[in-house]
A and B are shown apart, each in its own frame.
Chain A
Amino acid sequence: MFLTEEQQAILNGSKGETMAKVMESVVRYGELFGAEKLIPVTSKYNHLVTSFGLKALGPVYDLFNKLIEDGAISQQKFSVDPRPCDPNVPKNFIQDIIFNKIMYSKQDFYEGQLKSLGLMDDNAFTCACYMDEVGNKPAKGEVLSWAESSAVVYANSVLGAKVNRNSGIIDIMQSIVGYVPYFGLVTDEGRKATWVVEIKTTKKPEAQLLGSAIGMKVMEDVPYIKGLDKWLGTELDDAACTYLKDFGAATASNGAVGLYHVENLTPDAVEQGEKLITKDAKVYVIDDAELQRVYDSYPVMWKNKDAKPKLCFMGCPHMSLEQLKTWTDKVENGLKEAGNKKVLIPTVFTAAPAVIKEFEKTPYAARLKACGVIVSYICPLMYMNNPLCGKMPVITSSNKLRTYTTARYYTDDEILVQITKGGN
């Protein structure tokens, strides 16, 4: 790899041994993927994936301690994924002990490390850092060092920023040296589509189900999606962005998609159209039957498959302000139709702290609370990562949460029926 004099000097130890190892990590990471050079990170903020003070991550804390002690700190501040615990989210006595005394006993310590390393502010904990309310929204063409699969795919696809699917730890190391290797999704060639996905459904496809189907089919490749603009329109308004947020998270977690193009909608596709499609691109046709096949393929991991749900999580990735408002109307109307006053299953909607703050300024917040729905900043995935939740029948419309936990997937409409009318 070609290195500038400054980069080579750092690698040679001009800024100390630890900084040299940080640079070595970034250079070797790039060389593995054929990067010929490093390019500057140009975004104002970084975003890290590791937000949880899990006791088992001792090796990460040791490494971060070394960075802090040796002054290998980034000039960029950063947001980070959601906190794993929130006292407002229902849990029993044993779960409380497991969460706070065993699993996440290092949370306070780790948050202290994050502050030393450059956390934006005390509430910068969300997977949806690109929300206007949070303020970590890169501009088109900016080069990022982000991790968090759902944020990376959103930044690349919806915002037109440039970022690879970076792993935790590499995310902060690239930011510390201020450069990322030039390969993959930060290059023009790497952003070309090797799949064409044709949407031929008779109704608007469920975002999380469509994303899952595409992710499992194309894996790490870039799909160019035709026919979705019929359902989403050609403007990236709040509704379209919310849809693409959930869709993208499913492509990234059920597969390894880091970038997708939606014809006539997402920035690269609007600019370049079918020039983005490679000559030998494969074709995947999605109709109603294909979505049903994918839905039916999900294993149900509950011990008792007919159990009555004990908890419902919505918001993985975190919900937008628009989504919280829309769901307030939906839940209210659903309860009214069924003659119920409060949700029949304990239900948690999750969103970024800054989004929750704005939501609470609106009349919707009190209405949603009156329906019995809890709004939380928690990471549902981290909440469910314990043996007790494995026995707990949790429902969700998040395909990411389904993938990583024993939560059972239902479509948005099915979730609404379950929480407002009951039955499963």
Chain B
Amino acid sequence: MKEFKGRVVAPGCVKAEALVSHGGLNTLASFQKALQFGDKKATCGDQNNPDLFNHQMFGKALCLPQTIGSTTGGMVLYCACSMGRQPACMLFSKPIDSLAGAGVILADVWLEGEDTKMPVIDSLGDDFLEYVKTGMTITVKEDGVVVVEG
């Protein structure tokens, strides 16, 4: 077990299974098919991300360095939250990028209801992404502490 401390971008507590992307998460490429064709598991469609491709993202503790790609990214995250197909939480090793940041803020300001919530912690450090492995158990606490158990 190891603990990491980051910055709270969107508050909340959650316990979920880790899904780890060592490369940047291309939000549009990852979510677009899931949102378009009613895939409630939000299966990742990004062919360029071998860590996530064809993995279920809904309900997982998505661990990543940052998001990349199209500037629809924030809007896609907003839609995923609104439709209840978002990861259980998003845990960034780096400071959050402008696309994901916008999506998280928009969801927090404009959406209501528990099923739209998604705790987000950033700046967890490179050590976090080196330590955490897909399948480990993640616990996110209110103060930005992330506990990883393997």
Interface residues of A (CB under 8 A from B): 21, 24-25, 28-29, 32-33, 49-50, 54-60, 63, 103, 147-149, 152, 164-171, 184, 219-220, 252-253, 255-256, 299, 301, 385-387, 403-404, 406
Check A149–B75 contact: CB distance below 8 A.
Answer: no
Given A256-B66, A387-B37: A170 touches B79 (CB 8 Å cut-off): no
A-B contact count (CB 8 A): 128
Check A167–B98 contact: CB distance below 8 A.
Answer: yes
Stretch of B11-19, B100-108, B133-141 lying at the A interface: B100-108
Residues of chain B within 8 A (CB-CB) of A50 are 72, 75
Which chain A residue has the least Cβ–Cβ distance from B53? A299
A415 nearest CB across to chain B (Å): 20
Which chain B residue has the least Cβ–Cβ distance from A152? B71
Given A25-B110, A56-B36, A256-B66: A148 touches B71 (CB 8 Å cut-off): yes
Which chain B residue has the least Cβ–Cβ distance from A22? B109
Check A25–B105 contact: CB distance below 8 A.
Answer: yes
Check B24–A255 contact: CB distance below 8 A.
Answer: yes
Please measure, in the bound complex, the distance between the C-alpha atom of A170 and the C-alpha atom of B82, giving whole angstroms.
16
Check B48–A29 contact: CB distance below 8 A.
Answer: no
Check B28–A404 contact: CB distance below 8 A.
Answer: yes
Residues of chain A within 8 A (CB-CB) of B108 are 28
Q: How many residues of B contact A (CB 8 A)?
A: 41
Check A29–B83 contact: CB distance below 8 A.
Answer: no
Is B40 among interface residues, defined by CB-CB distance under 8 A? no
Please measure, in the bound complex, the distance between the C-alpha atom of A186 and the C-alpha atom of B89, giving whole angstroms.
30
As a 0/1 sequence over residues 68 to 89 of chain B, the CB contacts with chain A under 8 angstroms (1 = contact) are 1111111110110011000000
Check A403–B29 contact: CB distance below 8 A.
Answer: yes
Is B9 among interface residues, defined by CB-CB distance under 8 A? yes
A392 nearest CB across to chain B (Å): 15
Check B70–A21 contact: CB distance below 8 A.
Answer: no
B27 nearest CB across to chain A (Å): 9
